[in-house]
């Protein structure tokens, strides 16, 4: 019963934060018109969101020391506040402020949720546990674009997009109050030097670098695919939402297959196979003018990316057993820095070369990421 309630909480939390995270890409044409900004500037709405993740290692450290439950509760409070601000925003600045609150929530929750589960479940079954989280994530990707597009098409407002999420967030908050905390560990004194020491460990640094390289592809592609469909295929907002939901089926298949098979095959080996599948989809995705080929390429991209990432994420939960929360928070700091970097630079890239340059950069970076991941298994952890 206890484990079931933990899973229910984690599932709901992952669902709502992933729903919100996946609004921006599909809604890019609407947001540009709603706030009166250029389409290529919509990615800047992610800037405050991603910058808030820079401080996540301190949250990870404190959650290791004082318990993860309280930080999950704090994260939910920030999510509710941010959703209310975004829902009532009438300009891009206020919306960006709301997304800062949601960003604090996202990086706090994502850096603690998997670590929280890992304290209750052994490594042999952790692939299935992470599979539940990733399935919730993939379900959100499937629902999010259709839900958001339907709301804005019918109500022309963000209020009805965001407020239901704020209400749903109250459910896991209440359940968590009655759940036990994760185990607390004796940690070294909180300092930048201790966090840097963990990051500089040879195996850890290889993992963090490979994460930056891998995360580059979805950061670029998902933020500009909606604009690409609108400008090159004359898609309406509703059609863009449907397209994103179709390719999300690839995410669901990738996540489910990872949950069922990665523990047997080996999480690192499985991640390499699926990242290779992702790699093969990238050049057709950026260079084709054929809608069917674009759909198939996008589907394969989602399948390979999320199948591989689910297995890789499970693998890294066992890298730093005693300082798991701190290390996982570092992985989300990399995520935050990646989004921040491309929030600043991707606009120029897209305006220069459109989806072609986006797919070329993504191809090169995933290829480099695969090369690094090949070497991770050969390094023993200190």
CATH number for the domain harbouring residue 294 = 1.20.1250.20
For the entire predicted model, the pTM comes to 0.78
- Asked whether residue 185 is domain-assigned, the answer is no
Question: Has residue 187 been placed in a domain?
Answer: no
Q: In the structure encoding, which two tokens stand for residue 241, read together?
A: 């939402």
pLDDT at 183: 62
Residue with tokens 């599948």: 277
Instruction: Establish if 198 belongs to a structural domain.
Output: yes
Place of tokens 């891998």: 214
List, in order, residues 6 or more apart from 338 with CB less than 8 Å away.
50, 211, 212, 215, 216, 219
How far CA 5 is from CA of 132, 233, 276, 299, in Å, comes to 13, 45, 36, 33
Q: Is residue 186, in this structure, part of any structural domain at all?
A: no
Distance CA 100, CA 49 (A): 4
| CB 108 within 8 Å of CB 59 | yes
Q: Is residue 51 part of a domain?
A: yes
Asked whether residue 188 is domain-assigned, the answer is no
The whole domain housing 98 covers 2-180+194-376
Domain count, the chain: 1
What are the mean pLDDT values of the chain's consecutive 10-residue runs (382 residues total)?
80 92 85 88 85 75 76 94 96 94 90 75 64 77 87 91 96 90 61 75 91 95 90 89 88 87 88 95 91 95 93 83 72 87 90 93 96 82 56
Mapping DSSP to helix (H, G, I), strand (E, B) and coil, where does residue 80 land?
A: helix
Q: CB–CB of 346/365 below 8 Å?
A: no
Is residue 166 situated within a structural domain?
Answer: yes
Q: Which residues contact 330 (CB under 8 A, 6 or more apart)?
A: 56, 57, 60, 195, 198, 199, 204, 208
Whether 382 is in a domain gets the answer no
């Amino acid at each position: 019963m206890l484990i079931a309630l933990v899973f229910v909480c984690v599932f709901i939390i992952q669902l709502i934060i992933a729903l919100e995270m996946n609004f921006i890409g599909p809604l890019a044409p609407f947001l540009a018109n709603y706030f009166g900004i250029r389409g290529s500037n919509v990615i800047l709405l992610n800037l405050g969101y991603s910058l808030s993740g820079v401080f996540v290692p301190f949250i990870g450290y404190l959650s290791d020391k004082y318990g993860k439950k309280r930080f999950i509760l704090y994260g939910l409070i920030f999510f509710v506040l941010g959703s209310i601000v975004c829902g009532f925003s009438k300009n891009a600045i206020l919306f960006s402020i709301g997304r800062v609150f949601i960003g604090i929530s996202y990086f706090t929750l994502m850096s603690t949720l998997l670590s929280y589960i890992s304290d209750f479940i052994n490594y042999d079954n952790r692939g299935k546990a992470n599979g539940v989280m990733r399935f919730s994530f993939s379900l959100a990707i499937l629902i999010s674009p259709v839900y958001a597009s339907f709301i804005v098409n019918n109500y022309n407002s963000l209020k009805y997009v965001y407020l239901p999420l704020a209400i749903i967030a109250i459910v896991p908050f209440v359940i968590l109050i009655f759940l036990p905390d994760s185990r607390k560990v004796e940690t070294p004194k909180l300092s930048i030097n201790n966090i840097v020491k963990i990051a500089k460990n040879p195996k850890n640094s290889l993992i963090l670098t490979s994460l930056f390289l891998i995360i580059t592809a979805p950061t670029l592609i998902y933020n500009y695919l909606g604009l690409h469909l609108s400008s090159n295929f004359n898609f309406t907002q509703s059609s863009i939402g449907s397209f994103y939901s179709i390719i999300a089926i690839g995410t669901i298949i990738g996540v489910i297959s990872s949950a069922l098979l990665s523990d047997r095959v080996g999480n690192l080996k499985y991640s390499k196979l699926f990242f290779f599948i992702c790699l093969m989809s990238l050049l057709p995705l950026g260079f084709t003018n054929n809608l069917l080929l674009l759909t198939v390429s996008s589907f394969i991209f989602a399948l390979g990316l999320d199948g591989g990432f689910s297995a890789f994420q499970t693998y890294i939960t066992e890298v730093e057993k005693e300082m798991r929360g701190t290390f996982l928070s570092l992985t989300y700091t990399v995520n935050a820095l990646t989004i921040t970097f491309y929030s600043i630079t991707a606009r120029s890239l897209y305006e220069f070369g459109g989806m072609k340059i986006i797919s070329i950069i993504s191809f090169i970076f995933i290829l480099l990421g695969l090369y690094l991941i090949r070497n991770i298994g050969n390094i023993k952890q200190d």
